A and B are shown apart, each in its own frame.
Chain A
């Protein structure tokens, strides 16, 4: 396993349907955290903030914020379990949410 790169990911909910989305390098919003761009520097994070605010205005997304994450072997892992739950869906209904739609993140919400 390579040393994890630490940074921040921009997330939001899509305005029209509420789906959890992540901002990609190309500046579009993806349902999969592994498509997200990991901002390694404060400047990069600020650029994501700016882009997110534009998309709030442009009625694409709502509820934007940055969260701490790391990249491990090419996969992005949110540091807090709250964000990991958002990349999967409810832990008590694994038949619902991203985990049921092929858009799940690669890391479990919590280690049992």
Chain B
């Protein structure tokens, strides 16, 4: 894993001291609210519905056991014993006091963490595949590039006051688990006809009130040119991006207003303006960073582990969990363990301090000290020996962390919604809980198969509803919550934006509506066909009929 160098460490410590001083000056009245607000936001401290909320950056979703232990400590000492893992692979604390915040930032700095650039019109936390460095289908671990981009974008003076916030996602695998096509910039590693690895650069994707799929501006960019090329993109955006209207300020609007061709030529022209730009610094830095992401010392193991196979047969619950919650590792004898933070009726993405400690300890003992946060609000142990999986499962089970629903209907993405968020127009968590209870039967979930239900409590779409196979958007209709359902969204390599099915529903009607949609799918699917494929084959009409015909 990446370790801070002296510059990183000093910079984070200075920033913490600076914030301590700023908070004290606000509390003493020396700073006005107008002066202080942007300062606290630059350090990830928001004011939410019930209290302050602190958003902590987890670069590319990677954590060490020690860092996870510290997150648990913060949850117990300064919050209410839990934290919320977000769709940006970060963690948020919901009950933070301003007067404690500097101490919390110091506790984060102690384990090489911070909350910088988790807010504001800057380049936010770079996100990636939560199976990076472990997945069987991966070309290369994308995290060294993620770290390079983090260092490049941290406090970059030219890109600290962009027209609007800016999100970059990267994937090193052909199966996109990082939703790169719905980010401001998406990067995808792939091989060209000659077998050389290079990056497809996609720009202008996004969700929110104007969801869009990114367009490709470069098919195959050599890795050493990534930083200067991204710089060219940022400059074009900084120059032409709209600042007159917040809702039209994201790069997606620019790309789609002037058109992909024009945008591409602007970027290439800007890039060509520095034709002999040397990339030696980037190359040297990337090589240095890559060392920190060297693969752990995997043992040479057999692909077949008799006691593991036996345990699966002996204990059906374990067998089911292995089938749903583990994924192919690129090293024989290892697997990727996906810990669902979606136990039936629980709050998606929430984990108690105790659960965080359990997961941290498991990572330390069984996964080379590493954990990942996924954008679907789950936790991953990336490198577990097959012979250890049963022990891991037993421990998870004892702490309500062994729900066997990874990727199934109960594995719902939900933003905090009106229960916590001051921007929300409706609650999203209770809807996810009700749906999860409706489909509590594990067998039923397996029968339905792979499906993504995503719920947002407002048009800003933190719950990724536009790219849910089934998306649910909570709105306020004359002071009452009501919910719009979309179908056919996807954040994969075949990304698409869902379309609204018809009139919305009251909250209590949503679980039944979802059941009707699922039943319609089951009735009409071809053998082995997943929900999204069925929808793409038959279109919305049969679902509309099932939902609205009787009414």
- Residues on A lying within 8 angstroms of B by beta carbon are 13, 15-20, 56-59, 62-63, 79-82, 85-86, 89-93, 96-97, 110, 112
B347 A86 Cβ-Cβ under 8 A: no
- Per the CB 8 Å criterion, the residue count for chain B at the interface is 32
| Cβ 8 A contact of B27, one of A59, A63, A86 | A59
Instruction: Select B50's contact among A20, A56, A92, beta carbons within 8 Å.
Output: A20
Q: Is the CB of B29 within 8 A of A59?
A: yes
Could you tell me if A16 and B98 are in contact, using CB atoms closer than 8 angstroms? yes
Instruction: Provide the bound-state CA to CA distance between A89 and B95, in Å.
Output: 11
For the complex, what is the distance from the CA of A81 to the CA of B99, rounded to whole Å? 29
Query: Which of B2-10, B191-199, B426-434 sits within the interface?
Result: B426-434
Query: Are the C-beta atoms of A90 and B419 separated by less than 8 Å?
Result: yes
| Cβ–Cβ contact B429 & A15, under 8 A | no
| A contact residues around B365 at 8 Å (CB) | none
Bound state CA distance, A17 and B50, in angstroms?
10
Contact, CB under 8 Å: A91 / B430:
yes
The reply to whether A89 and B27 contact each other, CB–CB distance below 8 Å, is no
Q: Given A17-B51, A89-B50, A92-B419, check contact A59 B26 (CB 8 Å).
A: yes
Q: How far is the CB of B447 from chain A (nearest CB, A)?
A: 28
* A15-B27, A57-B32, A90-B419 known; A110+B481 contact, CB < 8 A: yes
Would you call A16 and B97 a contact (CB within 8 A)?
Answer: yes
Contact at A90–B420, with CB atoms within 8 Å? yes
Q: With A and B bound together, what is the CA distance between A82 and B423 in angstroms?
A: 10
B55 to chain A, nearest CB (A): 14
Q: Report A-chain residues with C-beta under 8 Å of the C-beta of B427.
A: 91-92
Complex-state Cα separation, A17 to B52, whole angstroms:
7
Q: How far is the CB of B170 from chain A (nearest CB, A)?
A: 33
Out of B420, B433, B479, name the residue touching A80 (CB < 8 Å).
B479
Q: List 26 A-B contacts (CB under 8 A).
A: A13-B47, A13-B51, A13-B52, A17-B51, A17-B97, A17-B98, A17-B99, A18-B47, A18-B97, A19-B51, A20-B51, A56-B33, A57-B29, A59-B26, A62-B33, A81-B479, A81-B481, A86-B49, A86-B50, A89-B50, A92-B429, A92-B433, A96-B80, A97-B50, A110-B507, A112-B508
Q: Which residue of A lies closest to B99 (CB)?
A: A16
With A63-B47, A90-B420, A92-B430 already in contact, the answer to whether A18 and B27 are too (CB < 8 A) is no
**B37: nearest residue on chain A (CB-CB)?**
A62
B418 at interface, CB cutoff 8 A? yes
Closest to A17 in B: B97
Q: Is the CB of A85 within 8 A of B419?
A: yes
Residues in B whose Cβ lies below 8 Å from that of A56: 33
Besides the known contacts A16-B99, A17-B52, A20-B49, 16 further A-B residue pairs in the complex with CB atoms under 8 A apart? A17-B51, A18-B52, A18-B98, A20-B50, A20-B51, A56-B33, A57-B29, A59-B26, A62-B47, A63-B47, A79-B479, A81-B481, A85-B418, A91-B427, A92-B429, A96-B80
Residues in chain A near residue B429, CB distance under 8 A: 90, 92
8 shortest interchain CB distances as A-B pairs: A18-B51, A90-B419, A17-B97, A18-B52, A59-B29, A92-B429, A16-B99, A92-B419
